[in-house]
């Protein structure tokens, strides 16, 4: 398997290549076609765009909607909200850019057939909260995928993209991507003038709470394997806020969402004694984060912190008092549909534990950490902002282009712009698509060139796990133990254990420190060395092998950023035991990293936070 025959290689040329068929990728494909009617736009997806991405199994709400036509909210209001929730550190220009366009996206969704619930009294969209509108969303993704499918010149499903290709004449310009078909193993070489990465963030970087019969169950999509970062950071693109992982408060064991129950149905969360613990712990929280504890609503991480302190004090379990709010059949139906639209497993957990939410409360807990740029966190690539409102040092020519020329991003890929969710990710994809078309037009007769030597080297690297297995399979002992290779699952379990125990996972109550992080880096370095000896018995395991590669690269970025930021900016997401308080004097800045593929070195730095909204 060291060489692949030329017959088993498919070359695909494109003007714009979109990697990832979730909401960001669908938005990028749709808008690229609008502005680039004559361009060849290719969408490539690891699964099938019909049901891929974080929204594959549906949603019960659109969490980013202004309602400007009714005078409900303005983009500046949304920037203030996101800034408050992230303790002051967001790219306000990127968030403002999404907020001013997101309503048009949601209206398109409704035109395409998405059922959005209406308030019978006002005729407006039914609000779950200030920024959320309720939907009948089981088929949310297929509706949006149809628009992307009709917009793309070609859609390639079942392609695991493993690497981005760089221009052989200009090393800081992207030239395409490389991947293999997970069904037949055919290598696909995509040569493109512009690339938009809209792949997923990361679950299963930290060890999940679900083990045994629940293994694989996570809040964020388990197939989100960090490709948004594993692809981009290895090009030398600058990354920011990779330490800003997210921890969610969710219904225990099923990871069921709490938004509709708390925001729409107004169910209260209490400790085991029925007490409102958040209010009781406010003074303690102020001692850690100062003025940010006065933000309304209380930032997500601080609500987590209060819950964690209650559990440590022996005041758990934490309960949502569902039985106090289900006083009508309509409310009961809303509560159940919230799960049936997007987290059927939570309904199954309730049934298996004899829980009727009309009769008794249900437990909440905090999840393991996830790495993403589309939810209430800011991990991702440093990107150029909009020309009309981005500060000078946030803007270098093309909106949503990374520091690598021709490489754009959307959704989880772009850092600094939290609270995008589904509608915001699609909107950011639209923004990136329009910019990519402009870039391709201005590129004219100077397209990038793929380096044949690089292509040959990567081709051998991609399929090496199959060769490792073929050579070492006869040495297997005790069922799965092999002296010459490790399996993707063994590698994943090692990664989860390292990140959990040293980088602030559930086993340490999200606590870490410089000595713990340095020890974690030692172990992570050993794991990276062992990735050269990973074995794959078939194409499915080969896919798992490359998902592991992307997760390990992302994990190292998370660790290095966490080590670099010497404060606890987001208690409830993670804690630095050696720097337990927020420190605005020294750390009101973005953390940035840049990986040098030639030397293998990481460069860490601070980038300024500009507040453009009062």
- The answer on pLDDT for 41 being more than 70 is yes
Domain 452-583 in CATH 1.20.58.100? The answer is yes
Radius of gyration of the chain (CA): 23
| Calpha distance 361→74 (Å, rounded) | 36
Q: Round the average pLDDT of the chain to a whole number and report it.
A: 95
595 pairs with which residues across the strands?
Answer: 602
Q: Looking at 385-482, which runs of residues are DSSP E strands?
A: 407-409
The domain locations on the chain are 249-367, 452-583
Find the range with the poorest average confidence among 154-158, 215-219, 440-444, 599-603: 215-219
List residues with catalytic annotation: 63, 128, 219, 250, 338, 375, 422
Biggest distance spanned by C-alpha atoms of the chain: 71
pLDDT digits (tens, 9 = 90+) for 374-422: 999 999 999 999 999 999 999 998 999 999 999 999 999 999 999 999 9
For position 578, what pLDDT does the model report? 98
What is the dihedral sign for C-alpha 553, 557, 563, 568?
negative
Token code pair at residue 149: 């499918």
pLDDT digits (tens, 9 = 90+) for 53-64: 999 989 999 999
| Calpha distance 21→279 (Å, rounded) | 42
Instruction: Report, as an integer, the average pLDDT of 482-495.
Output: 94
Q: What is the dihedral of CA 58, 59, 60, 62, to 10 degrees?
A: -140
Query: What global pTM score does this model have?
Result: 0.96
Instruction: Report, as an integer, the average pLDDT of 279-304.
Output: 95
**Helix, coil or strand: residue 169:** coil
| Calpha distance 78→57 (Å, rounded) | 27
| Calpha distance 172→528 (Å, rounded) | 25
For position 4, what pLDDT does the model report? 54
pLDDT digits (tens, 9 = 90+) for 72-102: 999 999 999 999 999 999 999 999 999 999 9
What DSSP line would sit under 80-131, residue for residue? HHHHHHTTT-S-HHHHHHHHHHHHHHHHHHHHTT--B-B-TTT-SBPBSSSS
- The answer on pLDDT for 460 being more than 50 is yes
Give ∠ CA 348-52-382 in degrees, rounded to 5: 115
Domain 249-367 in CATH 3.90.700.10? The answer is yes
For position 196, what pLDDT does the model report? 98
Q: Is the peptide bond before 297 cis (omega within 30 degrees of 0)?
A: yes
| Calpha distance 127→63 (Å, rounded) | 10
Q: What is the DSSP letter of 323?
A: G
- The answer on pLDDT for 478 being more than 80 is no
Write out the H or E segment, with its range, that includes residue 380: strand 380-381
Residue 130 to residues 76, 77, 125, 136, Cα–Cα distance (Å): 14, 10, 12, 19
């Amino acid at each position: 398997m060291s060489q692949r025959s030329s017959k088993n290689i498919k070359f695909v040329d494109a003007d714009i290549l979109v990697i990832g068929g979730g909401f960001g990728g669908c938005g990028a494909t749709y808008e690229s076609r609008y502005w680039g009617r004559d361009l060849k736009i290719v969408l490539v997806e690891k699964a099938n765009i019909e049901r891929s991405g974080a929204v594959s199994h549906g949603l019960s709400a659109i969490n980013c909607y202004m309602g400007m036509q009714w005078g409900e909210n303005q983009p500046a209001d949304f920037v203030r909200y996101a800034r408050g929730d992230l303790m002051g550190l967001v790219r306000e220009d990127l968030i403002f850019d999404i907020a001013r366009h997101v309503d048009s996206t949601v209206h398109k969704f409704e035109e395409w057939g998405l059922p959005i619930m209406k308030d019978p009294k006002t005729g407006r969209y039914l609000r779950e909260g200030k920024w959320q509108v309720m939907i009948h969303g089981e088929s949310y993704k297929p509706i949006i995928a149809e628009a992307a499918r009709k917009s793309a010149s070609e859609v390639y499903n079942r392609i695991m993209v493993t690497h981005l290709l760089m221009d052989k004449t200009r090393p800081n310009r992207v030239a395409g991507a490389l991947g293999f078909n997970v069904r037949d193993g055919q290598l696909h070489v995509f040569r493109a003038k512009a690339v938009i990465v809209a792949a997923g963030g990361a679950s299963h970087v930290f060890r999940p709470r679900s083990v045994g019969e629940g293994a694989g169950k996570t809040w964020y999509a388990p197939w989100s394997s960090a490709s948004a970062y594993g692809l981009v950071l290895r090009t030398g693109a600058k990354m920011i806020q990779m330490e800003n992982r997210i921890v969610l408060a969710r219904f225990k064991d099923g990871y069921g969402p709490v938004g509709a129950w708390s925001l729409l149905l107004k169910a209260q969360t209490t400790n085991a004694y029925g007490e409102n613990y958040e209010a009781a712990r406010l003074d303690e929280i102020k001692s850690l984060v100062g003025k940010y504890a006065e933000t309304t609503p209380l930032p997500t991480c601080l609500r987590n912190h209060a819950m964690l302190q209650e559990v440590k004090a022996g005041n758990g379990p934490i309960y949502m008092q569902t039985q106090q709010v289900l006083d009508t059949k309509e409310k009961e139906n809303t509560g159940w549909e919230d799960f049936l639209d997007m987290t059927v497993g939570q309904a199954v957990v309730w049934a298996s534990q004899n829980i009727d939410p009309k009769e008794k409360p249900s437990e909440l807990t905090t999840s393991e950490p996830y790495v993403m740029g589309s939810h209430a966190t800011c991990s991702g690539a440093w990107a150029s902002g909009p020309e009309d409102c981005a500060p000078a040092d946030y803007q270098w020519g093309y909106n949503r282009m990374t520091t690598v020329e021709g490489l754009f991003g959307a959704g989880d890929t772009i850092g600094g712009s939290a609270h995008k969710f589904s509608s915001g990710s699609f909107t950011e994809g639209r923004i990136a698509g329009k910019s990519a078309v402009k870039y391709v037009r201005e590129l004219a007769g100077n397209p990038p060139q793929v380096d044949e030597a690089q292509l040959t080297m990567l081709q051998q690297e991609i399929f090496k796990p199959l060769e490792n297995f073929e050579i070492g399979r006869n040495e297997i002992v005790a069922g799965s133990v092999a002296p010459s290779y490790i399996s993707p699952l063994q590698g994943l379990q090692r990664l989860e254990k390292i990140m959990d125990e040293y980088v602030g996972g559930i086993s340490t109550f999200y606590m870490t420190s410089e000595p713990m992080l340095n020890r974690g880096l030692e172990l992570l370095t050993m794991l990276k060395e062992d990735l050269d000896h990973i074995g794959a018995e078939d194409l499915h395991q080969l896919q798992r092998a490359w998902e592991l590669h992307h997760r390990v690269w992302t994990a190292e970025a998370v660790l290095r950023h966490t080590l670099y930021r010497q404060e606890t900016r987001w208690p409830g997401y993670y804690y630095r035991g050696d720097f337990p308080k927020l420190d605005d004097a020294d750390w009101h800045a973005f953390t940035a990293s840049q990986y040098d593929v030639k030397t293998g070195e990481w460069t860490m730095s601070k980038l300024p936070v500009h507040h453009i909204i009062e």
